[in-house]
Chains A and B, each alone.
Chain A
Amino acid sequence: SQQGEEDPQALSIQEGENATMNCSYKTSINNLQWYRQNSGRGLVHLILIRSNEREKHSGRLRVTLDTSKKSSSLLITASRAADTASYFCATEVSGGYQKVTFGIGTKLQVIP
């Protein structure tokens, strides 16, 4: 079964708006990562947040992690049409072999 589950599964917003995607997981993790996939392409790593961190920023990306609720959120501010892609969270469970489990993703469409 999937360790991470993203919510919503699809999101459509206007350019310039913020986009928020959520990820929930089931077991204790070492870290949580967010990846982006353009249609028909490989995944690109966006950001990693460790289990002892609560918030992390990278450019227009802001990731939060709440280990008590076993959830994370990815916020993309001032979205652009080029942000249109699928976004996946991936969790590395404690004791894992650097093996991460991916969720089913959130498909984001940014309308120009």
Chain B
Amino acid sequence: SQTIHQWPATLVQPVGSPLSLECTVEGTSNPNLYWYRQAAGRGLQLLFYSVGIGQISSEVPQNLSASRPQDRQFILSSKKLLLSDSGFYLCAWSDRHYEQYFGPGTRLTVT
């Protein structure tokens, strides 16, 4: 069966520090991968999606970037965090059947 992992689960970082969040998927190949951010009490904002290795589409211009160095690995990064980057970050994958499967999320607090 397929599983999706995200780490870390929680993170507290100072403004201006770098960020690296990792997401890995097991049990499937060539998945579509997604990064979302959810502000407190709000819906999900799609940040990046990827349909293959090295193929990244950005939905929102910002100081975040994403990379997909391996088929089942998706990384969200920032060189310098802003206060507004605080939120709940969710990684998800889908195959060609449209449903998305979400990881447990990373709660990021920028102080």
Contact = CB atoms under 8 A, between A and B. Distances in A.
B99 A43 contact: no
A105 to B, nearest CB: 5
Given A40-B105, A42-B103, A97-B49, A31 B44 contact: no
Contacts of B103: 42
Given A97-B51, A98-B32, A98-B96, A41 B104 contact: yes
B101 A2 contact: no
Contacts of B44: 43, 88, 102
Nearest to A107: B41
Interface in B66-111: 88, 90, 92, 94, 96, 98-105, 107
Contact of A2 (B36, B43, B88, B107): B43
B104 A88 contact: no
Contacts of B94: 98
Interface size class of A (residues with CB under 8 A): 20 to 34
Interface in A55-109: 88, 90, 92, 97-105
Contacts of A90: 100
B30 to A, nearest CB: 12
B29 interface: no
Nearest to A5: B43
B6 to A, nearest CB: 8
A102 B36 CA distance: 10
Interface of B: 32, 34, 36, 42-44, 46, 49, 51, 57, 88, 90, 92, 94, 96, 98-105, 107
